[in-house]
Structure 1
Amino acid sequence: MGKISPVSAKYIIHATISIEGVVDRPDVIGAVFGQTEGLLGADLELRELQRSGRIGRIEVTYDTKGGKTHGTIQIPSSLDKAETAIVAAALEVIQRIGPCDAKIAIQKLEDVRISKRKQIIERAKELLHAWIDTSMPDSQELSDEVAHSVRMMEIQEYGKDRTPAGPAILESDEIIVVEGRADVLNLLKYGINNAIALNGTNIPADVVDLCKQKTVTLFVDGDRGGDLIIKAMLSVADIDYIAKAPDGKEVEEITQKEILKALRGRIAVEQAKLETNEKGEQQPVQQQENQQGYRENFNHAERRESRDIHNRPRENRDRGRESRDNRDSRSRIRPEIRMPRREPEQQRSFSPEQAAKFKKTGEELVGTRGACIFDEKLNVLGKVPLTELYGTLKNINSGIEAIVFDGSIDRELVMLAENANVKILIGMESSVRPGEARLKIATI
């Protein structure tokens, strides 16, 4: 007898059987063939359909309990949909199986091709993914790779000590002093071409002379060696700013985002000197706070005020020992430290949820020149380029709780934000003191 396997069928008929008695599998199969014989005509005779391979093997599973038998019937079919439905309906006319009353109910008609189609789709996705990974890069990837290679080739040597440097070291008004050649290469990789290396703690004389002509940012590793470089440079060279890589990382290994964040958080060398401890070790507290996230002006005011009070008696004794001319000269070169206005408690406080949310958003926005707008539940209402922020605020007058953006807070922006009923404004820097506005102002 010719049969077809279930895997070659297009459809499967699923039915349940309930029998008022105890029967065997041959009784069920015999009832299916016997009680449908001649019912559907010669073309749909089940025995002939099975011989021709258009109906597959009838699978019967059953369980007998309490003198009654319950089970399922599965019949694979390669007929068309209409003929398969007719055969399925014919099964429900069976009323007796063996000597017992019985009832057969069709549960569903399954299209086997649907499951096969899903399997094909999943496999096609896997093949396409593997193909894309091994295919040729697009034009943008090619151009980026070429640009990176060219930048890496642009490294030059400066002075008689042949110090590694970027191609723009002479024409640029500002330079970045790093520790080694690998640091210069990493900065070149991301388009920063005004860096020059020290090659150790033995500072080259050419670098010292160059520092006298340029605005200098010293960019060191975030470890003990970086602190030693800072001490060495401060003793021999004219440095304007100091920046550090994240703790435990070196400049040569950090990403573009980390580089931009560190350079944006640089501190003035005068401030770094004020934060030197009694042993002369460099402790750039301000730099660490910039790298960690949000800082608020009133904290800096309290720390500076504390230092001024602590140092005032020593300064008075020094003034008593020195002449008026020396005192006047020292006061002219001493950096001016202005105390920020104390802002009200409600002005500067943030909830832990707000602080965490704003800190994370600020770190993500560094270098993007974008702005993120939040509602009162700290849901993101939208992200806009910084160039569109002013226009957005002009068209909105409510519903904004906070704005975090990669830019500077100025008076015009504060006025627009107040008119739009914004409660919190957070930027990278600010020319407006927190106490001069009705809304909360903070910097990253």
Structure 2
Amino acid sequence: MDDTAKYLIHASISADGVVERSDVVGAVFGQTEGLLGDELDLRDLQQSSKVGRIDVQIDSENGHSFGQMTIASSLDKVETAILAASLETLTRVGPCQAVIEVTNIEDVREAKRRMVVERAKELLTESFDDTVMTSSEILEEVKESVRVEDITEYHGLPAGPRVADSDAIIVVEGRADVLTLLRFGIKNAIAVEGTNIPDDVATLTQERTVTTFLDGDRGGELILRELSQVGDVDYVAFAPDKQSVEDLDRAAVIRALRNKVAFSSLPDDGDYRAAVAAAGGTPGVPSDPRPESPTTDGSSSTPPADGPTDAVTEASSDNGGTVTVEKTTEVDTGAEAESAPDDVFDESEAETVAEAVDPVQPTLSLSDHVRETITDGSGLARLLDSDLGLLDEVAVEKIYDTLEQTEPAPRLVVVDGEASQKLVDIAAQRGVGDLVARSKGEYVKKPVSVRVRTADQLLT
């Protein structure tokens, strides 16, 4: 009966004497018999399973009895209400005066519905992953897993897959650094795994064009000193001061490698990191350790390094073109310094090197930013100030968090993706005036303070 019951009749019992459960049940059947006619006779309803058993809980104290009574019903609402009202006609239970009052009629199905709703909430919270990956995130995750799986070994040392056959290699400190470069498409790095340079690496450096890319700390300098003694180093790059290569993002990695310095231009003694910073622009190390030499007028000046301060970075871009960045420094003789050849990257493998063009240039117009970010398919977003200077450059999937946190707030945003409702809303909150995207999204409510344009509209 409990499985088919639709309603539960709850009633309270109070008697002026000591009574038991059997007295209450007998009073219910005896005093309601014939009261409601044959169709609602309680005994007949129980026999046909339309009414369940009468559950009674009764206690006695100080010569009085009180308790609760529950009756399950599968009748309809009207019939159940009539049956419940008939219980209140009882005036005696056993030998005692008694009062029975119906407290409520519970809809069993409604209770089950509440239970279903609560359980559904729990299942929804516990069983489903709230994270929905975008297409770009899915592509990046798959690409990254492939790159990580590409890590190999060269004579037992962690290395990229192109170390064995590439004309140029990058020497880094550990396995994590190799993985970082692989993640950015650079596959010709090899790790020395400590300050004790392996003989295989020393031999390899004598056969290839070698760039060291080391952490911006004392350990990186020690590795460079030992490698220069046992092997052959052509170019030097450091991570920013007190930072590790493995902690750098794509822009920082490419900036550091693009600003590599010829090892022959560094002083024989002194702080290598400071010398590289002075010659190539590595951030965080402000001074040049080279001694000052007197000039003809009695003042002093710091002699420039022999050779270029910056290398030429040239790599194939996604659309088949070539991107070249060249920075040179004149030597004391007035002659133009030679640019070092671009042998840091394996050109056939470093797909992302085309993004190495430093966007922090005051001469870039908005159209230039749009072409480099959207037309070239960079997969990046640029945050610009009112003078079109670059505040930050991040991957498209990180634009929401970056836009919310960047200080000062950008004036313009250029994004190689869709100008979605969420992006437009955040831009309006941060006071962005112009948003240029590859495409526009569907807007429920577009803020009037943000002008949204596509690259096609701007470049037409």
Using structure 2 for the length normalisation, give the TM-score. 0.47
Which is richer in helix?
1
Using structure 1 for the length normalisation, give the TM-score. 0.49
